[in-house]
Chains A and B, each alone.
Chain A
C-alpha cells in the first residue's frame, strides 16, 4: 500500500460519527450553497471514464470524421520538395549573411555556412499551377486536391521534442497525443477495432518513441495501437496452440469479472480501461488479421500503391491506412522514418538519400489520396503529410567543416506540409516564405494552429475540449492555437 492510501486509511479510521455531526452544520450549508450556485461546482468537472459523455461531442457539424496523419520522421526538406526558391539558387555557394545567423542556434551548423540552392528542379502542375519538384512525380498528379502550407513553424529544433510538440502539443513527454485526444472525444466508429492505430515504416521508430502515440493522462485505452508489418499484426493477438476461442472467451470473462469487483472496491478508472482493453483484444483477434490482410485487395489496387505483401513499407501502410479508415478507425497515424538529410553520408544526402525516401513515399501517398477520393472517403477523411520541422537554406557544415555530401540542418522558422480532404480546400498554397525560404513572411502557421485546425475539422472546438488533471484543465493546444480558416472549404 502506498503512502497516500495509507494516510487516507488512517484518516478514515480517525474520523468518527461525532466528527460527522460536528461538521454537518457547516458542511450541509456548503452543499446547499454549492447546489444553488450550480451543480457543476458541486460535483466538479467530469473527468472519469464513466462520467465523460462523448455524446456532447462534436461541438459542431464535422467536415471530417477521421484522420490519416502521415508523419515523415526526421523532417523532409521543404526546399527540395514544395517551396520553390529560385533566388536561393543564385546565392548557391555564397557565405550566409551574418543577419541570418545572429542570435540563432542550430543543431549542427557552426560558424558561417554557405547557402545551398535547391537540389531538384521544380515545375508547375495541375489547374492550380502548384510548384512541385521532380522528386515527387506522382504527387504532382494530385496537387489540385491538396492544400500546401508553406509557412509552418515550430519551437523545437531537435527531433524528439519537435515530434512530441507536433503529436502532443508539448515538447515534454507526458501529454496525450492528438490521436488519443480525438478518440477520447469522439470514440471509434467500429467497436471491433481500436479507434487509434499506428503503423511505422522506414526502418526505425520515430525518435520521440511511443510517447508520440501515448495517452498521457487520458485513460490508457485511448493510446495508439501499433501494428507490425509481418507476423501477427499485433503481438500475442492470436491464440496460443491448444487455446480455442471459446476457452479464451471464458477466461477473459472470468478475468473481467474479477476486475469488475476490483473496480467496485477501489474505484480506479484504469481498471475500467483494462476491462475495455481485454474486450477489445478479444474482438481484435478476428477483426485485425482480417483488416490487416492486404492480399484481400485486388492486384490493381496493390499496384496503384506499390504495395507488396509482407514488406514493412510505407506503401503497405498507406494501403492499410485506407483499409482501416474504411472500417471506421478514427485516427490512423503513420510514421516513415529516415528524412534527416544532413549530408554526412550518401544515405543522408539531398541528392541520393532524399531521392530514395521520396521514391518510397511518393507513389503510395498519391495513391492513398486518389483511392480515398474514388471511394468517396476523401470527403470526410483528413489526410495530413509533413515532418516535425524544416531544413535550413544553408548547407550544413557540421563542426565547421565541409561535409562530404549536400545536406541541410534542422530549421524551425519555416517549412511545408500538405493536407487533403476532410473539408480542406484543394489546389491552394497557403502562407509564404521569404525569397530564400528562411522565414515565413505571410500567414504563418504554428504547430498549435495546425492542431486547432485538425480538431476543428472533426467538429471540435479546441478551446473547449479539455481534460481535468492534477487540478487544472488541459488542452491539446494548451493556451495557444488559431484555426486556419483560409484553408477550409
Chain B
C-alpha cells in the first residue's frame, strides 16, 4: 500500500471528477429529449427514459463522491463550490426520484402530477451545477472572456480595454504585467479557484499574497515568492505554472523581474520606469513599443498573380518582401541583356502601389524613363547606383515622400541635386560616394535634413 500512501489518493481519484461529470449531463439531457420525443410522436419510450434517468443518477452519484474528493484539496471559492455541490446533489436525487416515478408509471397520483415540474427542476439544476462547475475549473471570467463589449456590460463585467502597445503610452501593469498573469497564471489564481489562496487578478490581491504570505517583495524580485516560483526548474515540485500548463517565457519572467525590481507599481507608465535596451527588447517580445514603421502601416491588397507573371516575363525579379506580405521588392539584373524600355516599365507600374524596395543598380536606364519612377508612391528603398542618373533625373525622384534609403553612388550628379534630396522628407540614409556632390553640398543637405546619414567614400 505504500504506492497509495506516497501519493495523494483523494486527488488521484478526485481529478477524474471533471471527466466523469459529463456522463450525468448527457444521460439526463437524453432522458429529457426522449420524453419530448415521446410526447410529440406519441410513441412509448418509457423504458428508455427510465434507464436514462437511472444512468444519469448513478453516474451523478459517482461524480459527487469524486467531486467531494477533489474539493478536499481546497483552493476553491467557497460560495461557488457550495452552490455547485448542493445543486449537484439535489440534481442527482431528483434524477433518482424521476427514475422511480417513471418505473412505477400511473400508480401514484402525486408523482404523476409533479413529474413535469421535476423535469424542469432537474434541467435547471443541471445547468446551474454545470455552469458553476465550469467557473470552478476555468474561472468565472472564462465563459464571457471574449464576449463583445455590449454583452460584457450587460452582465456587469468591465469592458475590454484595448491594450496600448505604444511604448510611450503603455501602462506597466495594465499593458505588460496583467496580460502575462491573465495568460499564464489566472486560470488557477482567480476569485473562484484561488489555488494557494492567491489571486493575481487585481492589484490588492496581488499585494496581499497567498497562504504562505506575500508573494511580492517590492523592489526585490529575487526575494519575491512569485518570481522564484516561475523561474524554478520546470521539474521542480514548486514550479509555476503547475500541472503542465504553458510556462512563462524567459522574456516574460525577465519583465516580471524588472517590474518588481522597479517597485511593482500598478499605475505608472512603462516610460516612467528605468528602461534598458534589454528591457525594451523584452517589451517588444510581448508586443509593446514597436512604433509602426511606414512599411508596417501599409495595408494593401495583394497584387494579382497575372500582373506578377507579366512583370516577371519582362525580365524583372519581383517577390514579396516577406513570405506573407503583399508588399513587393523588385530588381533588374545587369546580366539581363535587353535594356529596360518604356513598355517594360509600364508593365511594372501596374503593381506600383505595392512596390516598396527597388534595385536598379548597375544598369543603364534611359533618361526619359526616370520620371516614371516618381509614380512609385510607397517606395521606401531605392538603389540606383552606378547608372547614368543625372541632376535632372533626381528632380523627378523628389516626389517619393516615403523614401527612407537612397543609394545613388557612382552617378554623374552634382550639388544641383541637393535641393531635390531635401524634398525627400522621410530620408534616413543616402549614399553619395563617387558623385559630383561636394563637401559643401553634403553639409547643406545635413543642415536641411538633420536626421539623415550621408555616406561618402572611405
Interfacial residues of chain A within 382-410, with CB under 8 A of chain B in the complex = none
Interface extent on B, as a size class? Answer: 20 to 34
Report if A265 contacts B (CB, 8 A). no
Report if A376 contacts B (CB, 8 A). yes
* A279 cross-chain contacts in B, Cβ below 8 A: none
CB nearest to A375 among chain B residues? B409
* A485 cross-chain contacts in B, Cβ below 8 A: 278, 281
Does the CB pair A376–B335 fall under 8 Å?
Answer: no
* B429 cross-chain contacts in A, Cβ below 8 A: 376, 379
Does the CB pair A373–B295 fall under 8 Å?
Answer: no
Cα distance A55–B320 in the bound complex, in angstroms: 7
Q: A55-B320, A58-B322, A190-B333 are in contact. Are A374 and B281 (CB under 8 A)?
A: no
Give me the 8 closest cross-chain CB pairs, A-B, nearest first.
A56-B323, A376-B407, A376-B431, A370-B458, A485-B281, A374-B433, A192-B335, A374-B457
* A190 cross-chain contacts in B, Cβ below 8 A: 333, 335
Contact sample, A vs B, 12 pairs, CB 8 Å cutoff: A57-B322, A58-B323, A62-B322, A189-B331, A192-B335, A286-B335, A327-B334, A328-B331, A373-B455, A374-B431, A379-B405, A379-B429
Q: How many A-B residue pairs have CB under 8 A?
A: 61
Number of residues of chain A lying within 8 A (CB) of chain B: 27
From residue A46, how far is it (CB to closest CB) to chain B in Å? 13
Report if B324 contacts A (CB, 8 A). yes
Report if B301 contacts A (CB, 8 A). no
* B321 cross-chain contacts in A, Cβ below 8 A: 61
Report if A59 contacts B (CB, 8 A). yes
* B458 cross-chain contacts in A, Cβ below 8 A: 370-371, 373-374
Interfacial residues of chain A within 56-109, with CB under 8 A of chain B in the complex = 56-62
Report if B319 contacts A (CB, 8 A). yes
Chain A contact residues, majority secondary structure: loop
Cα distance A379–B404 in the bound complex, in angstroms: 13
* A61 cross-chain contacts in B, Cβ below 8 A: 295, 321-322
Does the CB pair B278–A56 fall under 8 Å?
Answer: no
From residue B71, how far is it (CB to closest CB) to chain A in Å? 37
Interface residues of B (CB under 8 A from A): 277-278, 281, 295, 317, 319-324, 331, 333-335, 362, 383, 385, 405, 407, 409, 429, 431, 433, 455-458
Does the CB pair A374–B323 fall under 8 Å?
Answer: no
CB nearest to A190 among chain B residues? B333
* B385 cross-chain contacts in A, Cβ below 8 A: 375-376
Interfacial residues of chain A within 278-294, with CB under 8 A of chain B in the complex = 286-287
Cα distance A276–B455 in the bound complex, in angstroms: 40
* A191 cross-chain contacts in B, Cβ below 8 A: 333
Cα distance A190–B333 in the bound complex, in angstroms: 7
CB nearest to A193 among chain B residues? B335
Does the CB pair A376–B383 fall under 8 Å?
Answer: yes
Cα distance A335–B46 in the bound complex, in angstroms: 86
Cα distance A59–B335 in the bound complex, in angstroms: 29
CB nearest to B334 among chain A residues? A327
Q: Which of B317, B335, B405, B455 has the most CB of A within 10 A?
A: B335
Tell which of A370, A379, A486 touches B281, judged by Cβ atoms closer than 8 Å.
Answer: A486
Does the CB pair B456–A192 fall under 8 Å?
Answer: no
Tell which of B277, B281, B322, B433 touches A60, judged by Cβ atoms closer than 8 Å.
Answer: B322
From residue B267, how far is it (CB to closest CB) to chain A in Å? 29
Does the CB pair A375–B322 fall under 8 Å?
Answer: no
Report if A233 contacts B (CB, 8 A). no
Report if A202 contacts B (CB, 8 A). no
* A189 cross-chain contacts in B, Cβ below 8 A: 317, 331
